[in-house]
Amino acid sequence: MELIRDVTEFVSAEGAEIGATLFPFAALGLLGLYILWLVIGYLRVSQVGLADSATPEPVLSLTSTDEASRPRGVPYCAFDGLQYPLGARYCTACERDLLLDCVNDGATLFAGDASCYRCGTRTGAAEPALLG
């Protein structure tokens, strides 16, 4: 019986030691996930920056937020009143999804939409070849 008790004590002591050894790794794993999450967030934002620098067209302020005078088929942020080159999807100022008016019927779409939900006209967002 002496031996069995020794073995039991040995195992429980060993188990606690393994737990203490693994705990920092578990904490590191969580920290790694957190950093990964931050990196993904950063990449999403920096993608907007890359898209902007790839096109020579500057970000313009809308001369008017009036719907009738707004150019159709051009991505814009209704919140900041900024106009973006074709292919832009997110506002660099507030990170909202950009809107885009259908060139055919003026329906308000998201800049990332490939075509108009109302008339099916292609927005050009999914056709980067048109950018050149």
Instruction: Give the shortest CB-109-to-Zn ion separation in angstroms.
Output: 8
Cβ atoms 75, 88 nearer than 8 A: yes
Judged by beta carbon, residue 17 or residue 67, the one nearer Zn ion is: 67
Q: Which residue, among 40, 36, 39, 71, has the nearest Cα to 57 in the 3D structure?
A: 71
Q: Three-state SS for 61?
A: strand
**Binder of Zn ion out of 13, 54, 119, 131 (CB under 5 A):** 119
Burial of 31 (0-12, 13-18, 19+ CB in 10 A): exposed
3 token code pair = 């031996």
Nearer to Zn ion, 39 or 93 (CB): 93
For the chain, what is the radius of gyration of the CA atoms?
A: 27
Minimum CB separation of residue 113 from Zn ion in Å reads 10
Closer of 91 and 111 to Zn ion (Cβ): 91
Residues 76-115, interacting with Zn ion (CB under 5 A): 77, 79-80, 91, 93-94, 102, 104-105, 107
Chain residues binding Zn ion by CB under 5 A are 77, 79-80, 91, 93-94, 102, 104-105, 107, 116, 118-119, 121
